[in-house]
Amino acid sequence: MIIVSFLVALLAIGVPIAVAILAVTSWLIAHSSFPFSLVAQQTFSGLDSFTLLAIPLFILAGELMNSSGITGSIVNFANALVGQFKSGLAQVNIWASFIFAGISGSAVADTSALGRVFIPSMKASGYPPDVAAALVAAASVIGPVVPPSIPVIIYALIYPVASVPAMFLGGAVPGLLLAVGLSIYLFVFAPKYGQAREALPIRERLKAFLNAIIPLAMPVFIVGSIVLGIVTPTEAAAFAVFYALIAGLFILRSLKLVDIPGVFIRSMRDSAVILVIIATVSLANWLLTYAQIPQNIATFVLHETPNKYIFLLMVNVFLLLVGLVLEGTSAMLVLVPILAPIATTYGIDPTHFAIVVIANLMIGLITPPMGLCLFVADSIANVGILRLTRRIIPLFLVEVAVLFVITYIPALVTWLPNQFGY
């Protein structure tokens, strides 16, 4: 309990999660019979994985596509699809986020890229700035659920029983449901914001589709090649980088050679944040496993929880609370090694449970005080976290409703993977 309190205190005063975990685990090892060199050994072993290489590669591919100016083509295509409905610009925001999710695989990247487009344009169209920022942040949750997804790669690394192709396919329908849920909410409860636009002619819609064909094709190639067994996730990520580079330099011709060093710097910075957390948490997980803490927790839960439905309810409530104080990747690295084996014992499909966990923790990105997407959206809109939080509550509730739907109707996750033999 003292160790947990120390960790919580470090996080409360703003110490980065990786540094806090490293400090606590180093102190424990220094006061044990283990050699202190174990800190370096286990930290390095947490990064010694070929699969893990997919993370910086996917981040680099997303940065290359972002720098190629494909955001405008995605927005135009989404406008051609849904711009004519009530709250047209807000609807375009939701569906542009859904399409953009197939490129970045990161909620924070979606908030940053699309927020710089939609928040100013929605303000100019009469939307209150806090409404615009809340909508951008809420829609970004779709990003890590729809394939390709960086959290899926991390989950598979932690718990290899769940395969990457199955989870990629399993996230497609839940991601669509999140978009549909937010879209319905806007259509029913927010028609006062903005006006429906006149539907575009068929020729204009076709033109918008053709202009968006390059970003639309990228996730199809990536997910398709993995599902068909042609490449591994890491090889698919390398292909994504090559695809994005060729598209930006030679097809769209919007990416310049002078832009590439900056793209690599941003990608390395974002990758380093994730990889350092993975390295330090792997050390903590080794200590937890050695102390048999996951096994003891599993025994307690199995003894006290009568069935899998109550277990899933407990997991959802617990993870929603965890999302208030821990970033999604950190929470996943700490909790999945404990929760996933228990779920398997209850007979819960590993792919189903993985998507439930990922969707849950990604919703945490829009909940204060640690919601990264809230801070990114506020940095653009400059409306204050308190106002933004009040505006995002209804959107948060919509996403929680979708979460419980996919939790208790497993076929929404497992049907598509089953069609491909997973």
Q: Give the model confidence (pLDDT) of 326-339 as tens digits.
A: 777 778 888 898 89
Question: pLDDT per residue over 206-221, tens digit each?
Answer: 888 888 788 888 888 8
**pLDDT at residue 177, rounded to an integer:** 96
Rounded to whole angstroms, the Cα distance separating 227 from 236 reads: 11
C-alpha neighbours within 13 Å on the C-beta side of residue 391: 24
**pLDDT at residue 29, rounded to an integer:** 83
Question: pLDDT per residue over 270-307, tens digit each?
Answer: 888 778 888 887 787 777 777 777 667 767 776 777 78
Neighbours of 16 (CB within 10 A): 16
**pLDDT at residue 199, rounded to an integer:** 67
For residue 71, is pLDDT > 90? no
**pLDDT at residue 5, rounded to an integer:** 74
Tokens standing for residue 348: 């819960």
More confident residue, 201 or 352: 352
More confident residue, 26 or 166: 166
C-alpha neighbours within 13 Å on the C-beta side of residue 403: 25
User: CA torsion, points 155, 157, 163, 169, in degrees to nearest 10?
Assistant: 40
Neighbours of 41 (CB within 10 A): 13
The average pLDDT across 117-121 equals 82
Evaluate whether 86 touches 191 at the Cβ level (below 8 Å). Answer: yes
Look at residues 222, 227, 299, 208 and name the one whose alpha carbon lies nearest to residue 58: 222
Is residue 191 very low, low, confident or very high in pLDDT (cuts 50, 70, 90)?
low
For residue 414, is pLDDT > 90? yes
For residue 354, is pLDDT > 70? yes
For residue 136, is pLDDT > 60? yes
**pLDDT at residue 86, rounded to an integer:** 66
For residue 196, is pLDDT > 80? no
**pLDDT at residue 197, rounded to an integer:** 62
User: CA torsion, points 132, 137, 139, 144, in degrees to nearest 10?
Assistant: 160
User: CA torsion, points 111, 113, 114, 119, in degrees to nearest 10?
Assistant: 80
Is residue 6 very low, low, confident or very high in pLDDT (cuts 50, 70, 90)?
confident
Is residue 171 very low, low, confident or very high in pLDDT (cuts 50, 70, 90)?
very high
For residue 378, is pLDDT > 80? yes
**pLDDT at residue 331, rounded to an integer:** 82
**pLDDT at residue 157, rounded to an integer:** 85
**pLDDT at residue 94, rounded to an integer:** 87
Is residue 16 very low, low, confident or very high in pLDDT (cuts 50, 70, 90)?
confident
Neighbours of 220 (CB within 10 A): 11
**pLDDT at residue 359, rounded to an integer:** 95
Rounded to whole angstroms, the Cα distance separating 6 from 27 reads: 11
C-alpha neighbours within 13 Å on the C-beta side of residue 20: 17
Prediction pTM value: 0.83
Mean pLDDT, the chain, integer = 83
Question: pLDDT per residue over 255-275, tens digit each?
Answer: 888 989 998 998 888 888 778
Is residue 66 very low, low, confident or very high in pLDDT (cuts 50, 70, 90)?
confident
Q: Tell me the chain's radius of gyration from C-alpha atoms.
A: 21
For residue 194, is pLDDT > 60? no
**CA dihedral (91, 266, 230, 356) positive or negative:** negative
DSSP state of 358: H
**pLDDT at residue 2, rounded to an integer:** 67
Rounded to whole angstroms, the Cα distance separating 94 from 278 reads: 31
